[in-house]
Amino acid sequence: MKDYQLAWKNLWRNRRRTLITAASVFFAVFFALVMRSFQLGVYDRMFKNVIESYSGYLQLQHEDYFDDPIIDNSFEIDQALINDLKEDQNVKDVVPRLESFALAASGNHTQGVIVMGIDPEGEDRVLNIRNRLVRYKLKDEVVDNLINDTIPERTKKLLDIFRNEAYTSAERMMQDLDISEEDSASILPVIRRHASFPNEFLTSDNEEAAVIGEGLSDYLQTDIGDTIVLISQGYHGTSAAGKYVIKGIVKLSTPDVDNKIVYLPLETARYLYAAPGMSTTAVISLNSNDDDDILQTGIRLRDRISEPLTIKTWQELNALLVNQMDADNKSGIIMIAILYLVIAFGVFGTVLMMMAERKREFGMLVSIGMQKHKLAKIVSLEMLFIGFLGVVAGSIASLPVVFYGNIHPLRFTGEFARMYEDYGFEPIMPTMMPDSYYIWQTVVVLVILVIAITFSTRKIFKMNVINALRA
């Protein structure tokens, strides 16, 4: 009989011991993978929210704008420069912006806002803003009307929880209200009848209209068709003031931006700030958003521009967020390390118990002629089999949780949601799809097993046969 066959048979001579050891590895891998998946999923969602709703992956700027983001540090961008940048193999589009700050007012409400002059078509190609328009809104009167309509009781209870929530798609609304595909045919028409929200996006570069964030709309108590007044300082100290009809309301995933953003057509913003032909930034859309590709593209584009222009990556543009996530990532790694430390002690405890229980057996085997190195090899294979059983079972058991959490992320409501939004984060906790972090959990478990195997084989080689037979 081959060594691995003998080791496998030995495992099931004492099923309880084998299952206890495998279970300790199983729970370590399962909880570590789920915890890490939630942690990485939150990071990924936060980065994507900021990048895809505001900064983009690469930006062209005046070299002084990053440290002093005022409209005076803007630059002229012509079509020749745009065409030159687009010649790079990874550059898909270059979209200029004019960004500044203003005081927004509507009625008795005022709020400091980010005013972003955009090319409507270009910005939609880069950041897909049009798909962020609010399609449904569960206002108080809408919820009250729906509760009195013919919809299931479970949906009525959820409507009260998600009161005043806005949605950019029916799919997301169905998830929150727990409407299944089978029930959607009967329930969705009723909800659409009450909750549909008329909305439009900007259509030209110079129309006197604005699109604002849903959070800002709630604060200013404005709706489609209302007028918003903007007061600011323009290019080289000129006065800037204008009033614009609210044409659309968007819901952005980053609350800090959603609560302050006002989109104006690019030429309208240039007229407001008396900055004809000027741009503060240009968002560069890429074919590949891999970190290495972004870095290499940034290096190549820097060779295509001249002072005072520069290229900034999303990591540079969001340095504070990157540092916060890096610190939080280290704390998460420490928590997982503590979990594995506890499990390591469990594995070592099981190994000590196994060595003590089988001491007489090992002594008998050596006394009848089995070489110690062969015995050590079989015991090592037993430990490896137990480890692989735990790792494989833990990985497989975690997959349904990870996949479900990615499709149906945890969504916070009430005070906890407000706490998230106060920090500028979307109150949602998704998981990250299986990636290299799955491999690393296996590597960590194997390291623990190697240490345990080293300990057990050392005990075997130092074993005194006579004392072992007397055990």
Following CA atoms 100, 101, 107, 108 in sequence, which dihedral angle do they give, to the nearest 10 degrees? 180
What's the pLDDT at 427? Answer: 73
What's the pLDDT at 423? Answer: 57
pLDDT band at 244 (very low <50, low <70, confident <90, very high): very high
What are 135's two structure tokens? 């399609």
Q: Who wins on pLDDT, 413 or 260?
A: 260
- Least trusted range by pLDDT, from 4-18, 47-61, 407-421: 407-421
Q: Who wins on pLDDT, 228 or 376?
A: 228
Give this prediction's pTM.
0.70
Average pLDDT score over residue span 93-101? 89
DSSP 93-140: EEEEEEEEEEEEEETTEEEEEEEEEE-HHHHHHHH-GGGGB--EE--H
What's the pLDDT at 265? Answer: 92
* % of the chain surpassing 90 pLDDT: 12
Q: 292 pLDDT exceeds 70?
A: yes
Q: 404 pLDDT exceeds 80?
A: yes
The predicted-structure confidence for 409-467, as pLDDT tens digits, reads as follows 877 766 666 666 555 566 778 888 888 878 887 788 778 888 887 877 777 777 777 77
Average pLDDT score over residue span 219-232? 91
Query: Do residues 76 and 275 make contact, with C-beta atoms less than 8 angstroms apart?
Result: no
Average pLDDT score over residue span 5-23? 78
Domain assignments of the chain as residue spans, ordered by start: 3-49+321-469, 68-287
Name the amino acid, one letter, at 353. M
What's the pLDDT at 105? Answer: 93
Pairwise CA distance, residues 283 & 286, whole Å: 10
What number of other Cβ atoms are within 10 A of residue 141's Cβ? Answer: 9
What are 216's two structure tokens? 């800002």
Length of the chain in terms of residues written:
471
Query: Do residues 54 and 333 make contact, with C-beta atoms less than 8 angstroms apart?
Result: no
* % of the chain surpassing 70 pLDDT: 95
- Least trusted range by pLDDT, from 162-171, 241-250, 462-471: 462-471
What's the pLDDT at 232? Answer: 92
Max avg pLDDT among 48-62, 201-215, 217-231, 382-396:
217-231
What's the pLDDT at 129? Answer: 81
What's the pLDDT at 424? Answer: 55
Max avg pLDDT among 168-177, 186-195, 270-279, 342-351:
270-279
**Nearest to 97, CA basis, from 319, 287, 307, 282:** 282
Q: What is the mean pLDDT of the chain?
A: 82
What number of other Cβ atoms are within 10 A of residue 293's Cβ? Answer: 15
DSSP 383-424: HHHHHHHHHHHHHHHHHHHHHHHHHS-EE--HHHHHHHHHTT
What's the pLDDT at 422? Answer: 56
Average pLDDT score over residue span 362-379? 78
What's the pLDDT at 53? Answer: 67
What's the pLDDT at 210? Answer: 93
pLDDT band at 39 (very low <50, low <70, confident <90, very high): confident
